[in-house]
Amino acid sequence: MQKLPLILKMMTDYNAPDLKRINHALKVYGMTEYIAFGENLSDYESLVVKAAALLHDIGIHEAEKRFNSSNGIYQEQLGPQVAEPILEKAGFNKEEIEKITYIIAHHHTYNIKDNKLLRIIIEADLIVNIDEGEFGPNADFNRIKNKNFVTETGKRLFDKLILNK
Protein backbone atom coordinates (compact mmCIF):
# COMPACT_ATOMS: atom_id res chain seq x y z
CA MET A 1 0.00 0.00 0.00
CA GLN A 2 1.16 3.52 -0.71
CA LYS A 3 2.41 5.56 2.23
CA LEU A 4 -0.07 8.46 2.18
CA PRO A 5 -3.26 6.35 1.93
CA LEU A 6 -1.93 4.23 4.78
CA ILE A 7 -1.23 7.34 6.88
CA LEU A 8 -4.76 8.56 6.09
CA LYS A 9 -6.24 5.25 7.25
CA MET A 10 -4.20 5.16 10.44
CA MET A 11 -4.91 8.82 11.25
CA THR A 12 -8.63 8.20 10.74
CA ASP A 13 -8.58 5.03 12.85
CA TYR A 14 -6.64 6.79 15.61
CA ASN A 15 -9.01 9.77 15.72
CA ALA A 16 -12.30 7.90 15.27
CA PRO A 17 -15.02 8.69 16.14
CA ASP A 18 -13.81 12.33 16.33
CA LEU A 19 -15.03 13.42 12.91
CA LYS A 20 -14.17 17.07 13.62
CA ARG A 21 -10.46 16.23 14.01
CA ILE A 22 -10.46 13.92 11.00
CA ASN A 23 -12.12 16.56 8.81
CA HIS A 24 -9.68 19.21 10.03
CA ALA A 25 -6.71 17.03 9.08
CA LEU A 26 -8.24 16.38 5.64
CA LYS A 27 -8.83 20.10 5.04
CA VAL A 28 -5.27 20.96 6.06
CA TYR A 29 -4.06 18.15 3.79
CA GLY A 30 -5.99 19.65 0.86
CA MET A 31 -4.65 23.17 1.46
CA THR A 32 -1.16 21.72 1.90
CA GLU A 33 -1.42 19.88 -1.39
CA TYR A 34 -2.48 23.10 -3.14
CA ILE A 35 0.36 25.15 -1.65
CA ALA A 36 2.95 22.39 -2.18
CA PHE A 37 1.98 22.12 -5.86
CA GLY A 38 2.21 25.89 -6.31
CA GLU A 39 5.63 25.96 -4.65
CA ASN A 40 6.96 23.29 -7.05
CA LEU A 41 8.11 20.89 -4.35
CA SER A 42 10.03 17.77 -5.28
CA ASP A 43 8.22 14.44 -4.95
CA TYR A 44 10.17 13.77 -1.76
CA GLU A 45 9.31 17.15 -0.21
CA SER A 46 5.69 16.72 -1.25
CA LEU A 47 5.48 13.30 0.43
CA VAL A 48 6.98 14.68 3.66
CA VAL A 49 4.73 17.73 3.84
CA LYS A 50 1.55 15.80 2.99
CA ALA A 51 2.27 13.18 5.64
CA ALA A 52 2.89 16.00 8.13
CA ALA A 53 -0.43 17.60 7.13
CA LEU A 54 -2.35 14.41 7.87
CA LEU A 55 -0.65 14.02 11.24
CA HIS A 56 -0.06 17.64 12.30
CA ASP A 57 -2.67 17.52 15.10
CA ILE A 58 -2.25 13.84 16.02
CA GLY A 59 -1.23 14.82 19.56
CA ILE A 60 -4.53 16.50 20.43
CA HIS A 61 -6.19 13.51 22.07
CA GLU A 62 -3.11 12.79 24.17
CA ALA A 63 -2.95 16.48 25.16
CA GLU A 64 -6.58 16.40 26.23
CA LYS A 65 -5.95 13.24 28.29
CA ARG A 66 -2.79 14.50 29.99
CA PHE A 67 -3.43 18.24 30.27
CA ASN A 68 -7.19 18.58 29.69
CA SER A 69 -6.26 20.98 26.87
CA SER A 70 -5.86 20.97 23.10
CA ASN A 71 -3.46 23.92 23.25
CA GLY A 72 -0.95 24.01 20.41
CA ILE A 73 2.03 23.80 22.74
CA TYR A 74 0.82 20.41 23.98
CA GLN A 75 0.10 19.23 20.44
CA GLU A 76 3.68 20.10 19.49
CA GLN A 77 5.04 18.37 22.59
CA LEU A 78 3.04 15.14 22.30
CA GLY A 79 2.35 14.82 18.56
CA PRO A 80 5.72 13.43 17.48
CA GLN A 81 5.59 10.48 19.88
CA VAL A 82 2.11 9.57 18.61
CA ALA A 83 3.10 10.06 14.96
CA GLU A 84 6.36 8.11 14.99
CA PRO A 85 4.90 4.57 15.24
CA ILE A 86 2.29 5.45 12.61
CA LEU A 87 5.01 6.64 10.24
CA GLU A 88 7.12 3.54 10.91
CA LYS A 89 4.15 1.25 10.13
CA ALA A 90 3.55 3.19 6.91
CA GLY A 91 7.13 2.50 5.78
CA PHE A 92 8.76 5.89 6.24
CA ASN A 93 12.51 5.82 6.84
CA LYS A 94 14.33 7.48 9.75
CA GLU A 95 15.16 10.67 7.82
CA GLU A 96 11.56 11.10 6.64
CA ILE A 97 10.23 10.46 10.15
CA GLU A 98 12.60 13.08 11.58
CA LYS A 99 11.47 15.69 9.04
CA ILE A 100 7.77 14.93 9.54
CA THR A 101 7.92 14.87 13.33
CA TYR A 102 9.91 18.12 13.30
CA ILE A 103 7.05 19.76 11.41
CA ILE A 104 4.49 18.29 13.84
CA ALA A 105 6.59 19.52 16.78
CA HIS A 106 6.69 23.08 15.41
CA HIS A 107 3.42 23.63 13.51
CA HIS A 108 2.32 26.29 16.02
CA THR A 109 5.77 27.92 16.19
CA TYR A 110 5.10 30.76 13.79
CA ASN A 111 8.44 32.54 14.11
CA ILE A 112 10.41 29.83 12.23
CA LYS A 113 10.50 31.30 8.74
CA ASP A 114 13.33 29.37 7.03
CA ASN A 115 11.75 25.91 6.81
CA LYS A 116 9.55 25.87 3.70
CA LEU A 117 7.78 22.61 4.51
CA LEU A 118 6.92 23.82 8.00
CA ARG A 119 5.69 27.12 6.58
CA ILE A 120 3.36 25.30 4.19
CA ILE A 121 1.74 23.41 7.09
CA ILE A 122 1.46 26.58 9.18
CA GLU A 123 -0.16 28.47 6.30
CA ALA A 124 -2.56 25.64 5.41
CA ASP A 125 -3.52 25.19 9.07
CA LEU A 126 -4.12 28.93 9.54
CA ILE A 127 -6.42 29.11 6.51
CA VAL A 128 -8.43 26.12 7.75
CA ASN A 129 -8.53 27.46 11.33
CA ILE A 130 -9.91 30.77 10.07
CA ASP A 131 -12.54 28.92 8.03
CA GLU A 132 -13.46 26.85 11.10
CA GLY A 133 -14.05 29.99 13.15
CA GLU A 134 -10.96 29.83 15.37
CA PHE A 135 -10.52 33.60 15.04
CA GLY A 136 -13.06 36.13 16.24
CA PRO A 137 -15.09 38.37 13.93
CA ASN A 138 -12.76 41.30 14.66
CA ALA A 139 -9.55 39.48 13.68
CA ASP A 140 -7.16 41.53 11.57
CA PHE A 141 -6.70 39.14 8.65
CA ASN A 142 -4.30 41.45 6.81
CA ARG A 143 -2.06 41.42 9.88
CA ILE A 144 -2.34 37.62 10.16
CA LYS A 145 -1.30 37.28 6.53
CA ASN A 146 1.57 39.75 6.73
CA LYS A 147 2.92 38.26 9.94
CA ASN A 148 2.55 34.56 9.17
CA PHE A 149 2.58 33.88 5.43
CA VAL A 150 5.87 33.30 3.64
CA THR A 151 5.14 31.25 0.52
CA GLU A 152 3.85 33.06 -2.54
CA THR A 153 1.24 30.36 -3.13
CA GLY A 154 0.02 30.58 0.47
CA LYS A 155 -0.26 34.38 0.21
CA ARG A 156 -2.26 34.15 -3.02
CA LEU A 157 -4.53 31.46 -1.56
CA PHE A 158 -5.10 33.55 1.59
CA ASP A 159 -6.01 36.55 -0.57
CA LYS A 160 -8.53 34.50 -2.58
CA LEU A 161 -10.12 32.60 0.30
CA ILE A 162 -9.90 34.91 3.28
CA LEU A 163 -9.46 38.45 1.96
CA ASN A 164 -11.64 37.83 -1.15
CA LYS A 165 -9.17 39.58 -3.44
Q: Exposure of 34 by Cβ count < 10 A (0-12 exposed, 13-18 middle, 19+ buried)?
A: middle
User: 137 or 46: whose pLDDT is higher?
Assistant: 46
**With bands split at pLDDT 50, 70 and 90, how would you rate the model's confidence at 25?**
very high
The Cα–Cα gap between 150 and 156 comes to: 11
Q: CA torsion sign, 114 to 96 to 49 to 55?
A: negative
Mean pLDDT of 49-53: 98
Write the pLDDT tens digit of every residue in 57-105: 999 999 999 999 989 899 999 999 999 999 999 999 999 999 999 999 9
pLDDT score, position 49: 98
Write the pLDDT tens digit of every residue in 101-140: 999 999 999 999 999 999 999 999 999 999 999 998 789 9
Report, in this order, helix, strand and coil percent for the chain, each rounded to 5. 70, 0, 30
Torsion of CA 57, 40, 149, 155, to 10 degrees: -120
**With bands split at pLDDT 50, 70 and 90, how would you rate the model's confidence at 1?**
low
pLDDT score, position 165: 72
pLDDT score, position 26: 98
**With bands split at pLDDT 50, 70 and 90, how would you rate the model's confidence at 152?**
very high
Contacts of 17 (CB under 8 A, 6+ apart): none
CATH number of the structural domain 3-161: 1.10.3210.10
pLDDT score, position 138: 87
Whether 36 contacts 46, CB under 8 Å? yes
pLDDT score, position 137: 79
Domain extents in the chain = 3-161
